[in-house]
A and B are shown apart, each in its own frame.
Chain A
C-alpha cells in the first residue's frame, strides 16, 4: 500500500503563512486584586510575527525561554488562540475557524512535543495511540481491523520502532525516551500531514540518540515533502537541520532568512550574541566572550522600542531608552559602595524613584532640586554614552525630578544581505 496517495491535500501545493500574528495571555491574578486594580496585565507572548512555510521546508524557530517560540508553534496548530493576526493554510484563513470546520484541516498539520514521557496517554497501548488519530478522522470506519492495523504497523516501521508487532501492544511505561518520541512521531505521521510542528523534539533525549531522531525527521522530509517547524534553543541543531530560520526574542522575530546566510553572517546583535555564547565542544577553541548583560526580561512589560535594547552592546540612542533603563542604571551604581553612598545621600532611596514610560521620576519632598539635577547630569556622564545621548531633559516637572528620554525610532523590518532584520542599525 503506497501511503503517498493518502495525502489529504490532494494538490501539490502546500503553504502555511502567518501574518502579524499576535498571542497575548491575561496574567492570572487573584480575584481580590482584580477588584482593586483596573489594569489587566497581559503576557505579550507573540507580537506581530509574519512568515511563510512552503511544502517540504524545514523552518526553524530559534530562541531562548520567553521568546514565544513554543506559543507560536502551538498557535499555528490552533492549540492556542491568536489574539490578532491571521493564519492561512493553503490560502484559506483558519485563524478563528470553529472546531468542527477545523477538524478535517487538522489532518494536514500536526505537532510533537518536547517531553516524550508526558506526550503519550499512559492508558493507551502504542497500537491504540497510533490508531486513535485514524479513529478520530473516521478512517477506521472505511477499513477492516486488519487493514487499520497494518497501516499502523507500517508507520511504526517507518519511524524505526521495531519489532513493531511486539511494541504494538506495549504501554508507554515499557519504552525508552527515544522510543516514546518515535511513537509521538508515528502518531503525528499516520494522518499523512503536510506540516509537523516539532517543539524541541530532541531536547530531552540523550545526545547519543538525538542524531537518529533528527535523521528520521530529515528522511521523512525527503520521502514525503513534509514541512517542519522546528522549534529549538539549540542553534547548532538549527543550523544543521533547517533551511530557513527565524530568531525570536521576547515575542518578536528579530532576524529571519536562509539558515546559511544567518549563520555565516549574523546581522542582529542578539543573533550574534547567541552564536558567541554557545559553548563549543573543543577545548582548543576557548575564547573570551562578549556577552550581553542581564537576562530576558518578563513578557508582561516588554522594553520599549527594540525589546533587546537594554542588553544590546551595539545599542543606539534611538533604540527605545525609557525610565526603567535609567532606574536599572541607578540600581547598578548601588552595587559599587563608593557610588552607593553618594547616590543614597543625594538621590535618596531607590524605592522612591519610579518609571513612567519615557520618564524616570522622583517626587520632591523639599530637597534641593538644583543640586540633584547637577548630580544627575554628572552621573549620566559616567553612563553608557548611548543612554546619555538619548536623554532629552533632566528637570523638575510637576513637583518631580524627572529624567526624560526621547521617543524611540520606529522599528522596521529591512532586507539586508539575503535576510530580513529588525534593527535600527540597518535602517
Chain B
C-alpha cells in the first residue's frame, strides 16, 4: 500500500550569519495511512524542521533538498499558492502555543467561518453551524462562541485549535509539541481527544515531541532524530522495549518516571550543526563508539522487520 506521505532524502539547511546550518540531513521516512507516528528528539535534532518542511512553512532562503510526496505531489516543489489550498484542508498543523494560530482580534466562531469559507464553497451560515458543532464537540458552550481567544484558558485554546485543525477533515494532522505548555491533567485530556480523533476520523497523526511519555501513550510507530539525522525507526513497542541505537537507549534511560531508582544521563551535549561530527554524529557521546564510528556515516539498516537503526553495531543490541 502506498504510504500517505513519503519523505526521500530530505535535507534542510537554514541560512544563518555564520553560514548554512544543516538542520536535517538525508531523512527517509514514510507515513502509513491512519497511523500515529511520533518524532522524538531533543533540542536541535530537527524534528520541528521536518514538520515545517512538510507544510512548506520554512523561512525563505532555506535550502531544501529531496522529495516529500503527498497525494501524488512533491511538497518540496510545491509553490506557496498551491500550499494555501493544501494547508488546512489536506494537512493541518497544531502547535505548542495556540495563540500563534489564533487571531486575538477575532472571535473564535469567526476563526472557523473564515477557515471554512476560504477552503470550501459554503455559505457563512452553514459555516457557522458547522463551527458550532465542532466547538460543542470540544466542550465549548454556545454562550462562549462569540468570545475572543484570550478569554479562554490555555487548555481550551488548545482544544479550539485542534477543532479548527480538523474541521475540514484533513487526511494528515501534524502536532508540534501540542501539550508541552499544558498541565498534566489538561495534557491527558488533549491526548484523549487526539485518540478519539484517530478512531473517529481515521486521521493520520504526526506527533512531534520531546516527551516520551506521551509517545508511549499515543503513538503506533516512533522515529528518533538526533542532530538532524534519523537514527532509529520502529514500532512503539520495539523502540521502548528493545532500543537499538545507543542514543535511543540513553534517551529512554534518562527519562525519570514514577518507578525510577536512579538518575541516568547522556554525557556531553548536542553538536554544533554548523560543524557536525564526522561519521556517526552521536559518536562523541556514545559509550560504545569505536574508530570506525568517526569515519563512516552509518546507514539506516532494517535490523528486524519494521525496525530500523543507523548504527554500525546495531546487531549487538538486538
Q: Which residues on A are within 8 Å of B, measured CB to CB? A: 64-65, 176-178, 206-212, 214-215, 218, 233-237, 239-240, 263, 273-284, 286, 289, 291-292, 295-296, 298, 331-332, 334-335, 340, 350-351
Contact = CB atoms under 8 A, between A and B. Distances in A.
B184 A214 contact: no
B156 interface: yes
B37 to A, nearest CB: 14
5 contacts: A207-B255, A236-B258, A279-B191, A281-B252, A284-B237
Interface in B208-260: 210-217, 219, 236-237, 240-241, 250-252, 254-258, 260
Contacts of B250: 208
A208 B246 CA distance: 12
Given A176-B269, A209-B269, A332 B141 contact: yes
A63 B264 CA distance: 25
Contacts of A332: 141
B245 to A, nearest CB: 13
Contact of B265 (A211, A277, A334): A211
Given A64-B185, A280-B257, A211 B210 contact: no
A350 B184 CA distance: 31
Nearest to A336: B136
A281 B237 contact: no
Contact of B188 (A206, A214, A277, A284): A277
Contact of A240 (B184, B256, B265): B256
Contact of A235 (B139, B212, B236, B258): B258
Contacts, number: 139
B258 A279 contact: no
Chain B binding site: helix, strand, loop or mixed by DSSP? helix
A291 B188 contact: yes
A274 B185 CA distance: 7
B263 A209 contact: no
A73 to B, nearest CB: 18
A64 B142 contact: no
Contacts of B269: 176, 178, 206, 209
Interface of B: 42-43, 136, 139, 141-143, 153-156, 183-189, 191-192, 210-217, 219, 236-237, 240-241, 250-252, 254-258, 260, 263-266, 269-270
A239 B280 CA distance: 36
Nearest to B44: A206
Contacts of B153: 295-296, 298
B42 A211 contact: no
Contacts of B251: 207-208
B186 A215 contact: no
Contacts of A65: 154, 183
Contacts of A292: 185
A206 B42 contact: yes
Chain A binding site: helix, strand, loop or mixed by DSSP? helix
Given A278-B257, A281-B240, A340-B142, 17 more contacts: A207-B42, A207-B210, A208-B42, A208-B265, A211-B263, A212-B265, A233-B183, A236-B257, A236-B260, A237-B256, A277-B187, A278-B184, A279-B213, A280-B257, A282-B257, A284-B237, A291-B189
A279 B254 contact: no
Nearest to A208: B266
A209 B187 CA distance: 24
Contacts of A208: 42, 250-251, 254, 265-266
Given A211-B256, A211-B263, A281 B188 contact: no
A65 B184 CA distance: 10
A343 to B, nearest CB: 11
A281 B141 contact: no
A376 B215 CA distance: 45
Given A282-B240, A295-B153, A211 B254 contact: yes
A22 B136 CA distance: 38
Given A278-B213, A279-B211, A283-B240, A206 B263 contact: no
Contacts of A218: 263
A207 B155 CA distance: 24
A212 B256 CA distance: 12
B185 A277 contact: yes
A364 to B, nearest CB: 20
A209 B256 contact: no
A239 B263 CA distance: 12
B142 A234 contact: no
Given A210-B254, A286-B216, A295-B156, A64 B143 contact: no
* The 7 nearest A-B residue pairs measured at CB: A279-B213, A64-B183, A211-B265, A211-B263, A208-B266, A206-B42, A277-B188
B153 to A, nearest CB: 5
Contacts of B254: 207-208, 210-211
Given A277-B187, A284-B237, A334 B260 contact: no
